[in-house]
Amino acid sequence: MTGVLALLSRGWQDGTARLDAVLLRFATRKHRLIGVAMLRVVIGFATLLYCLSDYSKRRFLWGPDSYNSISTAKAALPRWGFSIFLWSHSTLWFEIAYHAVIVVALAFMIFGGRVLTLAQAVMMWSLHNRNQDILEGGDNLAQILILFLVFTVSNAYFAPGAKQRRARMREREQPTISTVLHNLGAFLIVFQTAVLYFAAGYWKITGKMWQDGVAMYYISRITGFEMSAKYAHLMGNAIVGTAVCYFTIFIELALPFAILSARPWVRKANTVALEGMHVGIMAFMGLVCFGLLMIGADCTCLRDDDYRSLARRFRSVKERILRRGWSPLPARGMTPVAMTAGQDGAADA
């Protein structure tokens, strides 16, 4: 009996020691800095794309005299929703607000930081709530993720002074409230993304068209999107269409398990597959902003170590290609033997 109690006590101590180590690591070191920074860049770029792609039609789509009137937009606002575009019927106010969205999105994409993240959240929510008819779907996720992004350090990469900022972080690796808030915000972003994909995969696998493998065929025939003729032709093939349906379900359901996997290649493979899927959606269905925002969310599913290993692999492959593929052309009139002799003579000199 004493031995059993001793084993239980030792197991309890080991478990609490491991929990303490995890909590200490959570409070002392900021995680997923690269993925969060990439999400920041993507959200800012997608907002700019919304504004600039329809810049000449901005008053028709978002202005006070838009086809979607201010009273109609107010009635369609979700609970606790708001939009600075609905504060006035003045064209001058609209122009100020619209160009403020562009300036804030550009600054947020380049510089990041909590203040600009909060400003971006206000501007992005205002733009989306002014006219929800032209949204593509990824905006709902972006509206949620931007709130979590406020608590993170979003400018540790891909921003001016990022290298110095990371150096200061390494010097101050001790438990802080800022670190806890960053990690909590980053993990909530990952959790929200994983729940979204798992729910999407679950609803697909319970749908008859997805079970039969014909969902992509019918999607490719929807006239409301800018469908590619080649895409529609490919999805008309029974084997290709069914394979794409089942592959989509598999990678969406697998994301939560891939995130928790101890094998880095599982996380990388699943994330790359999801990003490939969204690149296809952008190219074949014309849902560019939707694809961009989903790719930005996917980027947070990889750890910083995953990105570093991918960067090392990329540099290694690049150097190998350069070594094999690049060779100086011999001078005109000189044979390789003559060149070798000249190099030997230069070395002796």
E strands, the chain, in order:
none
Category of 287 on φ-ψ map: left (φ > 0), alpha (ψ -120 to 50) or beta? beta
- The set of residues, in sequence order, having a beta carbon less than 8 Å from that of 25 and lying 6+ positions away, is none
What is the spatial distance between Cα 75 and Cα 28, in angstroms, rounded to a whole number? 46
Residue with tokens 């006070």: 64
Residue with tokens 């905006």: 139
Residue with tokens 């972080």: 169
Supply the pLDDT for residue 343: 44
- The set of residues, in sequence order, having a beta carbon less than 8 Å from that of 8 and lying 6+ positions away, is none
What is the spatial distance between Cα 221 and Cα 223, in angstroms, rounded to a whole number? 6
What is the spatial distance between Cα 73 and Cα 82, in angstroms, rounded to a whole number? 10
Supply the pLDDT for residue 7: 62
Q: Rounded to whole angstroms, what are the CA distances from 136 to 292, 297, 305?
A: 11, 15, 32
Supply the pLDDT for residue 134: 84
Q: Rounded to whole angstroms, what are the CA distances from 270 to 33, 43, 119, 326, 341?
A: 20, 22, 33, 34, 53
Q: What is the dihedral of CA 281, 282, 286, 288, to 10 degrees?
A: 130
Supply the pLDDT for residue 341: 43
Supply the pLDDT for residue 297: 96
Please, what are the averages of pLDDT over each run of 10 residues along the chain (349 residues)? Answer: 62 57 73 96 96 93 92 88 93 96 98 96 95 85 95 96 92 86 96 96 94 92 77 90 96 96 94 95 90 96 94 89 67 48 42
Supply the pLDDT for residue 15: 56
What is the spatial distance between Cα 43 and Cα 289, in angstroms, rounded to a whole number? 9
Q: Rounded to whole angstroms, what are the CA distances from 176 to 118, 185, 186?
A: 21, 14, 16
Query: How many other β-carbons are positioned within 10 Å of the β-carbon of residue 213?
Result: 17
Supply the pLDDT for residue 24: 66
Q: What is the pLDDT of residues 92-134, one digit of tens each?
A: 999 999 999 999 999 999 999 999 999 999 999 999 999 988 8
Q: Rounded to whole angstroms, what are the CA distances from 188 to 103, 148, 193, 282, 300?
A: 28, 7, 8, 26, 10
Q: Is 224 exposed, middle or buried (0-12, 13-18, 19+ CB in 10 A)?
A: exposed
Q: Where are the alpha helices (DSSP H) in 29-90?
A: 33-53, 58-62, 70-75
Category of 286 on φ-ψ map: left (φ > 0), alpha (ψ -120 to 50) or beta? left
Supply the pLDDT for residue 328: 53
Report yes or no: 273 and 294 within 8 Å, Cβ to Cβ.
no
